[in-house]
Chain A
């Protein structure tokens, strides 16, 4: 009996362990080793932390990182600001029958690949796109305006891409919010703002934090949307990594940047958890 259960455990755990080890741990170890290797003046590969130092000594690199991190935080905040009313509406305002339908509407766009969705936005926003066409036709604009390739459209694209990952955890926490709590707060003299700040947000905090972590990480690591919708000046840190690997063919530098991204983003999330007073173990539940 005991042997059998051990065998079961072994059987089901093996694929997971293999997956983790072969596809995640092993490549990362390889990258980690690579990031500490550097060509010296003689052209030989030696151990060095030079790749990491480059990040801090070249302003273009850390400036890009800071920009990426700040914009990712901005995207997270904007996504939250839009997702909260949407989730509240779905869970507490419409009838339960209708809320399932609304959830489906939210999910539908995500059945399509991100690439296709980004191109969809591009068709809408480009100079010869749908929106320009209507604005010129209706006489609001004299000639079409280029709406793509700037920071605003990039943020718009990133918020749109992240929406679902904020809405789903928020809906799941708001579903457990007792309507009577909101009514009790009103009954005790609160207004909408107080109800939001003192009742709804504290209750939804675990969902807010887990949604924010997912959105922040996905945005920080996004390559497609900033690349396609951002302009020449909207450089994203993932593009720097890509450039090192593909354009400069400097895999050592690229892997150092990759690890820096991992460490710095983890640091920001740790800071976020500290500031909001949440525990990771509680949030991932």
Chain B
């Protein structure tokens, strides 16, 4: 498998602000690659550099091995789907899709055929003569994708195209986009601030923060083995807790939290030392409510329920450990087993030693 897109040590500064700071990554052919980060992290700048609208200050961007430096956006084998789609309102659907083909000098009959095929593929057959303002949000989305895919770009860049849709449609389009990408096999580079979009669709996700890549990995690894505290908090929900290490043996570490709970954590060989401060991250679903007393290797502590956040399958408990103001989010399984739980109830919570993730203490933690 060869590399479609290669970005090496790319840096971009705007006056004194560093938007993209020494970023390197490669995307193999046919992959769905996402760049996930909060707004203002530099992901749009990075995408615009790949599309050619912004020149990198330093570094090399290569597509299929060809250095793209100094090549204008209209000469690059990439196409960009804009955040607000940028469909041409003065043209109908067919004219929008034909626009790029005409620039390539295709014959009229061939253009006609290609439009029919691509509209079929995105599920909009017979939409040729519709005006753009007659389309719904999801249909516009698909026209924008068709307009780019019809040119058969080496890499398709997508700049948060689902951002403007409502939640239901967004969930639906996520699945459709993933299916479409698998069908056409074009390399997608997708940027988003929505971690669920990135996790659902991508083969690989790069987590970006303050112009740098924090971690590039598969969605599963990002979720289960975050490499940095930022990734741990940004990808999925996490409870952050601080503590001090009091004892260490092999791979097991004992730490004490400010509220007096003592936990055993399987830290692997991260090289902590005794008396060091650590940040502990616990996923809501890692915590088990009223665990079986027979279960082994479990950290147990008691909490007081503050409120019940009912959200169907995604329901949670908001609770604070005894003697603490710290709020924890705990997954509440909807098997009716915990229907009796009420605010101010006292519950025992347990979590497995291996499910807590520790990082050296940082002052920037919230």
Residues of A within 8 A of B75 (CB): 189
Is the pair B74, A186 in contact by a Cβ cutoff of 8 Å? yes
| Complex CA distance for A76 and B261, rounded to whole angstroms | 82
- Interface residue from B80, B83, B89, B90 paired with A187 (Cβ < 8 Å): B80
Query: Does B79 sit within 8 A of A, measured CB to CB?
Result: yes
| Complex CA distance for A194 and B91, rounded to whole angstroms | 14
| Complex CA distance for A199 and B103, rounded to whole angstroms | 14
Query: Does A183 sit within 8 A of B, measured CB to CB?
Result: yes
- Interface residue from A178, A194, A198 paired with B86 (Cβ < 8 Å): A178
Is the pair B74, A191 in contact by a Cβ cutoff of 8 Å? yes
Residues of A within 8 A of B91 (CB): 198
Query: Does B338 sit within 8 A of A, measured CB to CB?
Result: no
Which A236-265 residues sit within 8 Å CB-CB of chain B? none
- Interface residue from B53, B88, B89, B103 paired with A189 (Cβ < 8 Å): B103
Query: Does A202 sit within 8 A of B, measured CB to CB?
Result: yes
Q: 1/0 contact trace for A159-190 toward B, CB 8 Å? A: 00000000000000000001011011111111
Q: 1/0 contact trace for B330-361 toward A, CB 8 Å? A: 00000000000000000000000000000000
Residues of A within 8 A of B99 (CB): 185, 188, 190, 198
Given known pairs A189-B103, A199-B88, A203-B90, the reply for A184 and B82 (CB within 8 Å) is yes
Is the pair A187, B88 in contact by a Cβ cutoff of 8 Å? no
| Complex CA distance for A186 and B71, rounded to whole angstroms | 12
| Complex CA distance for A198 and B87, rounded to whole angstroms | 13
Is the pair B103, A183 in contact by a Cβ cutoff of 8 Å? no
Is the pair A188, B79 in contact by a Cβ cutoff of 8 Å? yes
- Interface residue from A183, A184, A188, A202 paired with B90 (Cβ < 8 Å): A202
Residues of A within 8 A of B79 (CB): 187-188
- Interface residue from B72, B86, B104, B151 paired with A184 (Cβ < 8 Å): B86
Is the pair A188, B84 in contact by a Cβ cutoff of 8 Å? no
Is the pair A188, B82 in contact by a Cβ cutoff of 8 Å? no
Considering the complex, give the chain B residue whose CB is closest to the CB of A191.
Answer: B74
Residues of A within 8 A of B53 (CB): 183, 186
Query: Does B316 sit within 8 A of A, measured CB to CB?
Result: no
Considering the complex, give the chain B residue whose CB is closest to the CB of A179.
Answer: B86
- B221: shortest Cβ distance to chain A, in Å? 33
Is the pair B86, A183 in contact by a Cβ cutoff of 8 Å? yes
- Interface residue from A180, A194, A202, A203 paired with B103 (Cβ < 8 Å): A194
Is the pair B84, A187 in contact by a Cβ cutoff of 8 Å? no
Query: Does B328 sit within 8 A of A, measured CB to CB?
Result: no
Residues of B within 8 A of A198 (CB): 88, 91, 99
Is the pair A189, B100 in contact by a Cβ cutoff of 8 Å? yes
- Interface residue from A178, A181, A188, A203 paired with B147 (Cβ < 8 Å): A188
Residues of A within 8 A of B148 (CB): 188
Is the pair A188, B72 in contact by a Cβ cutoff of 8 Å? no
Is the pair A187, B51 in contact by a Cβ cutoff of 8 Å? yes
- A219: shortest Cβ distance to chain B, in Å? 29
Which B54-76 residues sit within 8 Å CB-CB of chain A? 72-75
- Interface residue from B51, B72, B73, B84 paired with A178 (Cβ < 8 Å): B84
Residues of B within 8 A of A203 (CB): 89-90
Q: Which of A187, A194, A198 has the most CB of B within 10 A?
A: A187
Is the pair B151, A180 in contact by a Cβ cutoff of 8 Å? no
Is the pair A190, B74 in contact by a Cβ cutoff of 8 Å? yes
Which A209-226 residues sit within 8 Å CB-CB of chain B? none
Q: Which of A181, A184, A186 has the most CB of B within 10 A?
A: A184
Considering the complex, give the chain A residue whose CB is closest to the CB of B82.
Answer: A180
Residues of B within 8 A of A180 (CB): 82-84, 86
Residues of B within 8 A of A188 (CB): 74, 79, 99-100, 103, 147-148, 151
- Interface residue from A181, A187, A199 paired with B73 (Cβ < 8 Å): A187
Residues of B within 8 A of A178 (CB): 84, 86
| Complex CA distance for A226 and B319, rounded to whole angstroms | 85
- A279: shortest Cβ distance to chain B, in Å? 15
| Complex CA distance for A187 and B157, rounded to whole angstroms | 11
- B21: shortest Cβ distance to chain A, in Å? 24
Is the pair A184, B80 in contact by a Cβ cutoff of 8 Å? yes
| Complex CA distance for A199 and B87, rounded to whole angstroms | 11
Residues of A within 8 A of B74 (CB): 186-191
Considering the complex, give the chain B residue whose CB is closest to the CB of A195.
Answer: B74
Residues of A within 8 A of B100 (CB): 188-189
- B241: shortest Cβ distance to chain A, in Å? 44
| Complex CA distance for A198 and B88, rounded to whole angstroms | 9
Residues of A within 8 A of B104 (CB): 189
Q: Which of B84, B103, B104 has the most CB of A within 10 A?
A: B103
| Complex CA distance for A183 and B53, rounded to whole angstroms | 8
Residues of B within 8 A of A202 (CB): 90
Residues of A within 8 A of B73 (CB): 183, 186-187
Residues of B within 8 A of A181 (CB): 86, 88
- B154: shortest Cβ distance to chain A, in Å? 13
- B76: shortest Cβ distance to chain A, in Å? 8
Q: 1/0 contact trace for B206-237 toward A, CB 8 Å? A: 00000000000000000000000000000000
The 4 A-B pairs with the shortest beta carbon distances in the complex, nearest first, are A189-B103, A188-B100, A184-B86, A180-B86
Return 8 A-B CB contacts under 8 Å, by A number.
Answer: A184-B88, A185-B99, A186-B72, A187-B74, A188-B103, A188-B148, A189-B75, A189-B100
Q: Which residues of A contact B (CB under 8 A)?
A: 178, 180-181, 183-191, 194, 198-199, 202-203
Extra contacts besides A185-B88, A189-B100, A198-B99 (12): CB < 8 Å: A180-B84, A181-B88, A184-B88, A186-B72, A186-B73, A186-B74, A188-B74, A188-B148, A189-B75, A198-B91, A199-B90, A203-B90
